[in-house]
Amino acid sequence: MPKELWKGNEAIAEAAVRAGLEAYFGYPITPQTEVLEYLSRRMPELGRAFVQAESELGAINMVYGAACTGVRVMSSSSSPGVSLMMEGLSYIAGTEIPAVLVNVMRGGPGLGNIAPAQGDYYQAVRGGGHGDYPRIVLAPASVQEAIDLTALSFDLAEKYRMITMLILDGSTGQMMEPAEMPAMQEIKRKNFEWATNGAMNRERRILSSIYLNPLDEEKTNLRLLTRWQDVQANEVRYKEYFLEDAQFIVIGFGTAGRVALSAVREARAQGIKVGLLRPITVSPFPYEALEQLTGQAEAFLVTEMNTGQMLDDVMLTVRGRKPVEFYGRPGGVVPFPDEILNEIKRIAAGPVPVHSNPRVSWLHRATAHA
Amino acid sequence: MAAKGWIEVSDTYCKGCELCLSACPQGVMELNMERLTPKGYHPAHTFKDGCTGCAICAVVCPDAAITVYREVTKAAPVAATA
Amino acid sequence: MITPNNLVYERPEAFTESPTHYCPGCTHGVAHRLVAEVLEEMNVVDKTIGVAPVGCAVFAYNYFNTDFVEAPHGRAPAMATGIKRVLPERVVFTYQGDGDLASIGMAEIVHAAARGENITVVFINNANFGMTGGQMAPTTLPGMKTSSSSLGRDVETQGYPIQVSEMLSTLAGVGYCVRRSLHDPKNIRLSKKAIRTAFETQVRGLGFSIVELLSTCPTNWGMTPVNSLKFVEEHMIPAYPLGDYKISEAVKQIKV
């Protein structure tokens, strides 16, 4: 298919449609409202279900209902709205059914602003909803990647009967880039043996997340965790740039990773042996890849658009064996490549000590300028 | 003449809630204090004749514990026309 | 001696064999029975998907022989919307208590009704949060004692009850909205007719349907089952008058 100019949010919407999205339930919130608006025209055009719900709370519960029937269903929101969905996500996880959620992150916490941020990493990757449940989280850094990962998220959600979240920030949602849209997939309703779609010619089924007997709930928790082992073993994805001989390794996801790539290219042009590891799945996190790089690297630089969230996953893996530095721009500020380039140069000039808390040393540098 | 009816109250479902007793228009129901269901309730039963099979007990029963039967009466044969 | 001709009434097949966990005399059982009878009579049991609430009826799915899903507290109308929008030819109903529907679920029920979702809501109003031990609910009567209004509901500080049927009937998307009661055989029969009409409304695509059923809660009201029926008659009906609050012209044509 030829490339066309696509706006991030609309590209995600269309990619979902092409992947067989049968139902979309959403609510307006900047900077993702275009997903809702686009699908409000596109879904009825194709005779598929669309509802603008009374709130994000309503939306996620509509997703929950439709997901119980086994069709491909999605919602999208941005940070504060995703917070409202946490109850629903926990229920969906506890019911072990597939669903896709797109979070176009904005500055926070609280009402924050509508500028791009990555402040919901913890919420997406660690929990958000109550209880022990895993979820797959994908982080695109371009419109094309957003298209590709949207299609993938439905496949993964169904394969593992789990929530797949796509986290991007407002800039990727709003930007327009040339991208290739896959061909339209025909809707093929799969006959999942768990789906509650009206008990025609079969035993009736129940879908619920209630396990009153604690021993049954324990079994459920262990089952979810066991399934997660499969995901960790098979679904880790990341991109590597200039890593073969890299002495210094930058780690960033989404837009932060993309900006870092520009900095890394420029640093290489200036003779610094630096590379970039950009996780595509932030959950499951590429622990093994990072573990392997720990041997070769002299130092790591984690860069995110928050106050250091993926940083913890990096620290967990590196375990103090090599220095880890941090550079963050929270609150909706998008870093420029030269900011990250300066950090790379600072580290390359080194030596940098092994901090127990790179977040604090960054904080001092950040507030010293202010 | 009122039809003759009879009921069966299930020990599995009856909880001795007594709603059927006051609902019965013929007043022929009471709790059987001589027996207990497996859950420990005194089940309802008819204690005298007079059940007409009206099924009002079944209508008020929250547990669908009552099965109701009614005698099917045949009308007297019509005399041949003269 | 007993032939099928003799049978006047037996347990509906749409009921599973499980004895219910409801308190003796609780009219949840009556409402369940009526819904099961209606689904059987309409021959839609194997096309039905129920949405269970959080409340005493959280285990409703154990009693009906249909597919069932379990909603978070108050969200049943939203879940039902999700199901009905992707499976429009199935029969989808929610079964909710007054805490579930009128407290935490108020936004979901109003909007499902306003959107005219072709779902049927069976609304059990017994003026308290039953499952959690009898707390004050949006439908608790002024002066009524509950575990969170132990001196009796004080309208000055705890507000007034909400008349759900009256409120929902103002919405254009509603095809059928009535209030009935389960306190005596005549009213139980009228309730069944209303439930039937509500499901017919759905099956004919005539909009949102809801039947509010005044019900008892003997345990939390601290009364015998028989006395709690009297409480409904003497206290709840004056506060929640029985009647037809909205029947659209098209629904009026339905003959059951």
| Torsion sign over Cα C46, C51, C56, C58 | positive
Nearest to B64 among C25, C28, C33 (CB): C33
> Does C1 fall in a domain?
no
Average pLDDT over residues C93-122: 97
Contact predicate C255/C190, CB 8 Å: no
> What b/e sequence results for A113-145 when a residue is b if at least 16 CB atoms lie within 10 Å of its CB, and e otherwise?
bbbbbbbbbebbbeebbeeebbbbbbbbbbbbb
Contacts of A198 in chain C (CB under 8 A): 46-49, 67, 87, 90-91
Which residue has 């969230």 as its token pair? A309
Q: Tell me, letter by letter, the H, E, C secondary structure of chain A.
A: CCCEEEEHHHHHHHHHHHCCCCEEEECCCCCCHHHHHHHHHHHHHCCCEEEECCCHHHHHHHHHHHHHCCCCEEEEECHHHHHHCHHHHHHHHHHCCCEEEEEEEECCCCCCCCCECCCCHHHHHCCCCCCCCCCEEECCCCHHHHHHHHHHHHHHHHHHCCEEEEEEEHHHHHCEEEECCCCCCCCCCCCCCCCCCCCCCCCCCEECCCCCCHHHHHHHHHHHHHHHHHHHHHCCCEEEECCCCCCEEEECCHHHHHHHHHHHHHHHHCCCCEEEEEECEEECCCHHHHHHHHHHCCEEEEEECCCCCHHHHHHHHHCCCCCEEEEECCCCCCCCHHHHHHHHHHHHHCCCCCCCCHHHHHHHHHHHHC
Selected for mutation to probe chain A from C44, C58, C62, C75 (highest A CB count within 10 Å) is C75
pLDDT of residue A370: 60
Residue C126 belongs to a domain with what CATH number?
A: 3.40.50.970
Strand partners, A138: A166, A281
HSE at residue C131, side-chain half, CA atoms within 13 A, is 17
- Of A22, A88, A196, nearest to C69 by CB-CB distance is A196
Give the nearest chain C residue to A205 (CA atoms): C67
For residue C25, give the nearest of B19, B58, B72 by CB distance. Answer: B19
In a domain, C112, yes or no: yes
| Distance, first Cα to last Cα, chain B | 28
Neighbouring residues of A357: CB distance < 8 A, sequence distance ≥ 6: none
- Quick one: average pLDDT of C18-29? 96
| Per-residue pLDDT, B81 | 44
Query: Residue B1: which pLDDT band, with cuts at 50, 70 and 90?
Result: low
**Nearest residue to C199 via CA among C56, C37, C72:** C37
Is residue C5's pLDDT more than 90?
A: no
Determine if residue C243 is left, alpha or beta; phi over 0 gives left, psi from -120 to 50 gives alpha, anything else beta.
left
pLDDT band at B74 (very low <50, low <70, confident <90, very high): low
**Closest CA in chain B for residue C29:** B62
Q: Is C111 on the interface with A (CB under 8 A)?
A: yes
* pLDDT for B3: 78
- C-chain CB neighbours of B64 within 8 Å are 11-12, 15, 29, 33, 36
- Mean pLDDT to the nearest integer, C26-32: 97
Interchain contact, A204 vs C67, CB within 8 Å: yes
CA neighbor of A15 nearest in space, from A189, A116, A145: A145
Question: In this structure, is residue C203 part of a structural domain?
Answer: yes
pLDDT digits (tens, 9 = 90+) for A207-232: 999 999 999 999 999 999 999 999 99
**Tokens (6 digits) for C106:** 């108020």
Give, in degrees to the nearest 5, the angle at Cα C100 between C96 and C101.
70
- Give A169 to chain C, closest Cα distance, Å: 27
Nearest-5° Cα angle at A292, A290 to A295 = 110
ipTM: 0.92
Structural contact between residues A65 and A51, judged by C-beta atoms closer than 8 angstroms? no
CATH number for the region A4-234 comes to: 3.40.50.970
The alpha carbon of residue C41 is apart from the nearest alpha carbon of chain B, in Å, by 16
Q: Is the dihedral of CA C242, C246, C252, C255 positive or negative?
A: negative
Is A53 close to C78, i.e. CB distance below 8 A? yes
With an 8 Å Cβ cutoff, are B17 and C184 in contact? no
Q: Which of C47, C79, C115 sits opposite A198 (nearest CB)?
A: C47
> Does C134 map to a domain?
yes
pLDDT in the model for residue A350: 81
Over its length of 370 residues, how does chain A's per-residue pLDDT go in tens digits? 789 999 999 999 999 999 999 999 999 999 999 999 999 999 999 999 999 998 999 999 999 999 999 999 999 999 999 999 999 999 999 999 999 999 999 999 999 999 999 999 999 999 789 999 999 999 999 999 999 999 999 999 999 999 999 999 999 999 999 999 999 999 989 889 999 999 788 999 999 999 999 999 999 999 999 999 999 999 999 999 999 999 999 999 999 999 999 999 999 999 999 999 999 999 999 999 999 999 999 999 999 999 999 999 999 999 999 999 999 999 999 999 999 999 999 999 988 888 779 999 999 999 997 6
Q: Which of residues 18-47 of C touch B (CB under 8 A)?
A: 19-20, 22-30, 32-33, 36
- Amino acid type, C44: V
Given this model, what pLDDT does residue A200 score? 87
Judge whether C175 lies within some domain: yes
pLDDT by residue (tens digit) across B17-66?
A: 999 999 999 999 999 999 999 999 999 999 999 999 999 999 999 999 99
Report the predicted TM-score, pTM, of the whole model to 2 decimal places: 0.88
- Judged by CB atoms closer than 8 Å, whether chains meet at C9 and B41 is answered as no
Asked if residue C174 has pLDDT above 50, the reply is: yes
C18 exposure class (CB count in 10 Å sphere: 0-12, 13-18, 19+):
exposed
Which residues of chain C neighbour A208 with C-beta distances below 8 Å?
A: 52, 61, 68-70
Q: What angle do CA C250, C254, C255 make, to 5 degrees?
A: 160
| Backbone torsions φ then ψ of A314, nearest 5 degrees | -70, -45
Domain total of chain C: 1
Instruction: Please state, in angstroms and rounded to a whole number, the distance separating the CA atoms of residues A224 and C26.
Output: 38
For B58, the closest of C6, C9, C20 (CB atoms) is: C9
Q: Would the CATH topology of A4-234 be identical to that of A239-369? A: yes
Residue A233 corresponds to which tokens in the numbers above? 């073993």
Kindly list the residues from chain B whose CB atom is less than 8 angstroms away from the CB atom of residue C25.
Answer: 15, 17-19, 62
Mean pLDDT over the full length of chain C:
96
Measured between alpha carbons, how far is C54 from C58 in angstroms, rounded to an integer? 5
Domain limits of chain A?
Answer: 4-234, 239-369
Cβ atoms within 10 Å of C241's Cβ, excluding its own: 13
| pLDDT for C256 | 80
Per CATH, domain A239-369 is 3.40.50.920? yes
- Shortest distance between the Cα of C48 and any Cα of chain A, in A, equals 5
Least confident of B71-80, C213-222, C235-244: B71-80
